[in-house]
Structure 1
Amino acid sequence: MTTHSDSDVIPSGETLERMTENLQKVEELSERLQRVLTNRQTHNPALDGPNQELFGRAAQAYWAEAVNNPAKVFEHQMTYWADTMKQFVQAQQELAKGKLTAPEDPGPKDRRFANPLWETHPYFNYVKKQYLINAEALTTAVQDVTDLDPSEKNRLTYFARQIVDLMSPTNFLATNPDALEKALETEGQSLVQGLENLIHDLEANKGELVVKLADETAFELGRNIATTPGKVIFRNRMMELIQYTATTEEVHKTPLVIFPPWINKFYILDLKAQNSLVKWLVDQGHTVFVVSWVNPDPTYRDIGMENYIEDGYLTAIAEIKGITGEKQVNAIGYCIAGTTLALTLSLLKQKGDKSVKSATFFTALTDFSDQGEFAPFLTNDFIDGIEEEIEDKGVLPSVIMARTFSFLRSNDLIYGPAIKSYMMGETPPAFDLLYWNGDGANLPGKMSMQYLRGLCQRDELARGGFDLLGHKLTLGDVDVPLCAIACETDHIAAWKDSYRGIQQMGSKDKTFIMTQSGHIAGIVNPPTRNKYGHYTNPDLKLDYADWLAGADFHEGSWWPRWESWLKKRAGKMIPARKPGDSSHPVLCDAPGTYVAKKATL
């Protein structure tokens, strides 16, 4: 199918025989696939998309527009018809030449269409260009729907984009030259292996399709991932507390505790030695503690945010103070754990407890007034569906969370990997970050609804206060010295929203750093890579646009800049500490036992 001679393209009899054998294997695997789908564990259909009312209102708005402004609708139709007919005529002219020649205008570039055949082969070029015409027509039609509530318009736009991405010709075997070429080259073996990959992924998730992004056999916790030496020195029903082994003769007096998000596992901050923030901090002379959260099962149905604060944050801080003999700790909260750190700091302020000396927030949202790309998932019908799912299972299954996050970047996290695995028959890459991404955790039922209803939907923390543990917790109560790191292209916690929450906190000592890249790569950005730079601006009274306009850009990782800020609040140097003490015996080696539990129901 590339520029080969006819004899190279036409399969031999022996090749056809092997392809026939492989296609028979496909039939056998299809029966196995049918069994998986027949017995699959279902979820609430409300989690798959909006009900028909949204599309009904959209159609009604579109036709109302046609009546009130027919010229715009005619313009849409004429543009679509003209583009379609133009490219049809061009394709006919190419075919009339009696040979397959590349069109003069191959159309716009798109990384999904990297194979040269998309430009040089009339059939594939026609398919590509018609798809792009169709995609543009649908996108324009949705954009021009005016008589629709903004939240509904936002959701309609999101699902229209999902339809456009789904219908890409690269997602179908008959219109994917890469997959077809691979099938010929491997005599159909790639299709057999692809179907086996598909069935394996379905079986692993009880019939739910979650595309495996990394080779799970390539990593083992404690062996080649999450390897920084340390000990579990405390455990309760919510978390294991890890104290890492010092690598310097002296350490800063004030200990450092990291609260990672419990949506995924803590070792995002301890992947490999080369990109481990945990190891880097230990090497800078900090006594580092990390909370490793439990992976909840249905018995955690009634666990709420209050349990994470009391049995997680407050308990960890108390145990660290007891082990080190210090009166204060420096604390880090990442993502949802940063949101909860803000709640904890408000609670401590109201109690007159000064156990936290400084706070650092990694990509943390505390003001949810702008829901950004998550808006389609925060409408009542979707949250109602989650509530029903929780009522049935006791937890919000990790597979639901993984799928939701993946659809925000569907071409990168769903369709692209699915093409390689299911159509090309390739083994997922041995990539530590993607391995971590697939190692999800369930969320307790009560906690999920508190977070989604009270914080995300009603924005209570930034609008009057969030009621918890007998207190009304507010951002204004957060008055410790703080540093916030947000990420420029973060699609989960937009930097401008993180900035807005930090502005509302009561601290007089605030530092805000915006790093390049996204939610994970922007944080896991070691100095040795010298890959992403960062922005700083001390004036946090400005709105986010003016802050960025006046910010200074710095090459390289933000880690050293932040650590310079941290060590000023970390106290004098003292002899290095050993993990645990007489009242905190070593329970096991890091990374512990909780991190190894897979999310199953």
Structure 2
Amino acid sequence: MSDDRQHPMLQYIINNPEAFANNLAKTLENAGKALAAYLEPREKGEVKQDGADELTNVIKTLAQVGEYWASDPQRAVEAQSRLMTGYIDLWNSSLKRMMGESSLPAAQAEPRDKRFADPDWNDNQFFDFIKQLYLITSKWAEDLVLDASGLDEHTRHKAEFYVTQISNALSPSNFLMTNPELLRLTLESNGENLVKGMQHLVEDIKEGHGAVKIRMTDTSKFALGKNLGLTPGKVVAENDVCQVLQYEPTTTEVLKRPLLIVPPWINKFYILDLTPEKSFIKWAVDQGHTVFVISWVNPDERQAQKSFEHYMKEGILNSLDVIKRATRQQEVNAIGYCVGGTLLSVTLAYMAARGDERIKTATFFTTQVDFTYAGDLKVFVDEEQIAMLEKKMAEHGYLDGSKMASAFNMLRSNDLIWSYVVNNYLKGKDPFPFDLLYWNSDSTRMPAANHSFYLRNCYLENNLAKGRMEMDGERLDLSKVKVPIYNLATREDHIAPPRSVFLGSGCFGGPVDYVLSGSGHIAGVVNPPSRNKYQFWTGGKPEGQLEDWLKKAEEHPGSWWPHWDAWIRSQDATLAKARKPGAYRMKILGDAPGSYVTMKA
């Protein structure tokens, strides 16, 4: 047996005190540079001091929870007693363990919690004590919110979300002296990890122009048109809202109906055209679809007044005109992803009101039309917060892409924030090159008018589902949308929860096939058959409760892509000769993936 196994505390002793002292000095020097990088844009007036309004909102929300418990002395005593009971149980079990007796832990981490995967979180009594102390305290804080009766549902939802964010931030896994893996690494390397980590922090603050733009991947390993977005195609139309891309056919015959893909503008379309083996666009082309994709502009102040109506008319409706000129076909299959699907559903209701029947089938990827169960993003939506956001957007005419990226990352803060803080700044490691995370970091801005309409009409007032949304003088009624719909949800989705997508299925007036894929908002969609990952469920009509539907649903291994392709062909399998971009004297404006998608926020 090695000395380290005989004396486990030896791994927590400095190997070379002189080298450690030198590296500590370098770390402090880099910390000064990080502070300077943070202050410089603020001193120049390039960055406004903000965050006070958000902090005020958090404090007000949590204060309402505190008022509930403090308003009744008996309740307050009960709350304190619950916490002290947990601490006493921990103290007693720790004493037993010190005396060599067997004892059950007072609190245990979830088996899937990666933060406490290191063996010393259990084997070393000091770190085990710290971990259990944290778990007991965080669980107690969460229960305070859940048990605070009398709070309205929105306030409770916000309080629960904020407590989770604070709890995640204060985890002992995020701090050098309370994380055994970090402490060992620091002592073994004589602090070199901290030197490199602080260098990363300086670089990330400079990259974020005074804010910490946490790197999730090695961005130098990816570039659009070189190893991402490689499916051959052409830009065949362009306006100040979007470019329209048409992809080169790879089959001699294609389905007669072209396929229009409406991606979200909250992110860039190439999530559906990552590497060739992951590309839904390439796969659809190879199956014989004539694929057109809308590539939304990365807006600035010039698009400030572009609303949902502009995106509908200059985006989807204009693209239908482009497709007719490019293929001489009027009938189209359409796909909408996330908010692109919400816009597509709005467009379908508008077209139904106008008697426009060009879209013959609609496919939705993780799309919400009824926002009753819209998940944790509803935390950010109430009159006070929207008014605050509109005031900020009015300054430049758009919402900065980093704001939306931060909101999405907070939905899974342990995975998408704190794991990278630990890896990049405390371990001093470079993040692993990963195409999906490169895309995730490639944020986009939001036009002020569009984003305000979306938040108010969908998240805040749920007007589309209630039949109260108006567009260009038309009151929109989804029940008048009679086209067949393939409605894909993903089981672990934090953005468009499967329950929300399921509920939205009932809004439409035609046949709806609800399909549930394994994994989440991105991986559940970008799941090519060649990888044979996850699974999907199909079943009867999406009626009643999702849980009841699932009990009767049939599980299928692998990707849902072939199932969708078969569904499309079941609607109309008529074939036609393949069409190349530029046919019928269509002007070619450039190569795919186009110029709009390369614009940085």
| TM-score bracket for the superposition, by shorter chain length | over 0.9
Deviations 1:404-450 (A, max 9, x none): 11111111111111111111011111111111111110000000100
Cα distance change, pair 8–403 in 1 and its aligned pair in 2 (3 A): closer
1:298 Cα deviation from its structure 2 partner: 2.1
| Counterpart check, 1:45 vs 2:52 | yes
Residue matched to 1:586? 588
Q: CA RMSD in A?
A: 2.1
Equivalent in 48, 61, 70 of residue 54 of structure 1: 61
Counterparts of 1:93-492 in structure 2, within 5 Å, are: 104-105=103-104, 107-110=107-110, 111=113, 112-492=115-495
1:104 Cα deviation from its structure 2 partner: 5.0
Q: Distance in 2 between matches of 1:282 and 1:56?
A: 55
1:3 Cα deviation from its structure 2 partner: 3.6
Question: More displaced, 446-455 or 200-209?
Answer: 200-209
Deviations 1:197-248 (A, max 9, x none): 1222222222223322111111111111111111112221111111111111
1:574 Cα deviation from its structure 2 partner: 2.2
Q: Is the contact between residue 342 and residue 369 of structure 2 (CA under 8 Å) also seen in structure 1?
A: yes
- Partner SS for 2:329: coil
Q: Distance in 2 between matches of 1:325 and 1:504?
A: 32
Residue matched to 1:535? 537
Cα distance change, pair 196–103 in 1 and its aligned pair in 2 (3 A): farther
The one-letter code sitting in structure 2 at the alignment partner of 1:559 is W
The one-letter code sitting in structure 2 at the alignment partner of 1:586 is I
Cα distance change, pair 593–300 in 1 and its aligned pair in 2 (3 A): same
Cα distance change, pair 574–295 in 1 and its aligned pair in 2 (3 A): same
Q: Is the contact between residue 368 and residue 459 of structure 1 (CA under 8 Å) also seen in structure 2?
A: yes
The one-letter code sitting in structure 2 at the alignment partner of 1:108 is Q
Q: Is the contact between residue 537 and residue 547 of structure 1 (CA under 8 Å) also seen in structure 2?
A: yes
Q: Percent identity?
A: 36
Q: Distance in 1 between matches of 2:295 and 2:189?
A: 45
The one-letter code sitting in structure 2 at the alignment partner of 1:329 is V
Residue matched to 1:31? 32
| Counterpart check, 1:551 vs 2:553 | yes
Question: More displaced, 105-114 or 24-33?
Answer: 105-114
1:502 Cα deviation from its structure 2 partner: 2.0
Q: Is the contact between residue 213 and residue 417 of structure 1 (CA under 8 Å) also seen in structure 2?
A: yes
Q: Distance in 2 between matches of 1:7 and 1:241?
A: 63
Q: Is the contact between residue 305 and residue 447 of structure 2 (CA under 8 Å) also seen in structure 1?
A: yes
Q: Distance in 2 between matches of 1:537 and 1:33?
A: 55
Residue matched to 1:515? 517
Cα distance change, pair 215–250 in 1 and its aligned pair in 2 (3 A): same
Question: More displaced, 316-325 or 523-532?
Answer: 523-532
Q: Distance in 1 between matches of 2:85 and 2:190?
A: 41
1:94 Cα deviation from its structure 2 partner: 6.0
1:188 Cα deviation from its structure 2 partner: 1.4
Q: Is the contact between residue 532 and residue 557 of structure 1 (CA under 8 Å) also seen in structure 2?
A: yes
Equivalent in 497, 513, 534 of residue 494 of structure 1: 497
Q: Distance in 2 between matches of 1:307 and 1:573?
A: 33
Q: Is the contact between residue 102 and residue 121 of structure 1 (CA under 8 Å) also seen in structure 2?
A: no
Equivalent in 79, 98, 103 of residue 76 of structure 1: 79
Q: Distance in 1 between matches of 2:352 and 2:109?
A: 55
Question: More displaced, 211-220 or 370-379?
Answer: 370-379
1:49 Cα deviation from its structure 2 partner: 6.4
Cα distance change, pair 126–247 in 1 and its aligned pair in 2 (3 A): same
Q: Is the contact between residue 103 and residue 122 of structure 1 (CA under 8 Å) also seen in structure 2?
A: no
Q: Distance in 2 between matches of 1:384 and 1:8?
A: 54
Q: Distance in 1 between matches of 2:540 and 2:56?
A: 43
Structure 2: segments with no counterpart, 5+ residues: none
Q: Is the contact between residue 495 and residue 521 of structure 2 (CA under 8 Å) also seen in structure 1?
A: yes
Question: More displaced, 16-25 or 85-94?
Answer: 85-94
Q: Is the contact between residue 65 and residue 144 of structure 2 (CA under 8 Å) also seen in structure 1?
A: no
Cα distance change, pair 8–181 in 1 and its aligned pair in 2 (3 A): closer
Equivalent in 515, 525, 528 of residue 526 of structure 1: 528
Q: Distance in 2 between matches of 1:36 and 1:4?
A: 46
1:271 Cα deviation from its structure 2 partner: 1.0
Q: Distance in 2 between matches of 1:371 and 1:576?
A: 41
Residue matched to 1:568? 570
1:547 Cα deviation from its structure 2 partner: 2.1
Deviations 1:31-78 (A, max 9, x none): 2111122235244533456253323322221123x34xx2x5544333
Q: Distance in 2 between matches of 1:7 and 1:116?
A: 16
TM-score, structure 2 as length reference: 0.93
Question: More displaced, 182-191 or 105-114?
Answer: 105-114
Q: Distance in 2 between matches of 1:103 and 1:377?
A: 47
Q: Distance in 2 between matches of 1:276 and 1:49?
A: 43
TM-score, structure 1 as length reference: 0.93
1:585 Cα deviation from its structure 2 partner: 2.5
- Partner SS for 2:529: coil
Q: Is the contact between residue 373 and residue 497 of structure 2 (CA under 8 Å) also seen in structure 1?
A: no
- Partner SS for 2:530: coil
Cα distance change, pair 540–8 in 1 and its aligned pair in 2 (3 A): closer
Q: Is the contact between residue 256 and residue 329 of structure 1 (CA under 8 Å) also seen in structure 2?
A: yes
Q: Is the contact between residue 213 and residue 434 of structure 1 (CA under 8 Å) also seen in structure 2?
A: yes
Deviations 1:144-190 (A, max 9, x none): 11122222112111111111111110111111111121212222111
Cα distance change, pair 471–417 in 1 and its aligned pair in 2 (3 A): same
1:553 Cα deviation from its structure 2 partner: 1.7
Q: Is the contact between residue 362 and residue 484 of structure 1 (CA under 8 Å) also seen in structure 2?
A: yes
Q: Distance in 2 between matches of 1:583 and 1:28?
A: 63
Aligned positions, number: 588
1:8 Cα deviation from its structure 2 partner: 6.4
Question: More displaced, 358-367 or 209-218?
Answer: 209-218
Q: Distance in 1 between matches of 2:546 and 2:140?
A: 34
Question: More displaced, 26-35 or 323-332?
Answer: 26-35
Q: Distance in 2 between matches of 1:361 and 1:9?
A: 54
1:2 Cα deviation from its structure 2 partner: 6.2
Question: More displaced, 324-333 or 140-149?
Answer: 140-149
Q: Is the contact between residue 330 and residue 570 of structure 1 (CA under 8 Å) also seen in structure 2?
A: no
Question: More displaced, 80-89 or 395-404?
Answer: 80-89
Cα distance change, pair 358–24 in 1 and its aligned pair in 2 (3 A): same
Q: Distance in 2 between matches of 1:401 and 1:103?
A: 49
The one-letter code sitting in structure 1 at the alignment partner of 2:524 is G
Q: Is the contact between residue 335 and residue 493 of structure 1 (CA under 8 Å) also seen in structure 2?
A: yes
Q: Is the contact between residue 96 and residue 103 of structure 2 (CA under 8 Å) also seen in structure 1?
A: no
The one-letter code sitting in structure 1 at the alignment partner of 2:202 is I
1:312 Cα deviation from its structure 2 partner: 0.6
Q: Distance in 1 between matches of 2:68 and 2:12?
A: 51
Question: More displaced, 18-27 or 35-44?
Answer: 35-44
1:494 Cα deviation from its structure 2 partner: 1.2
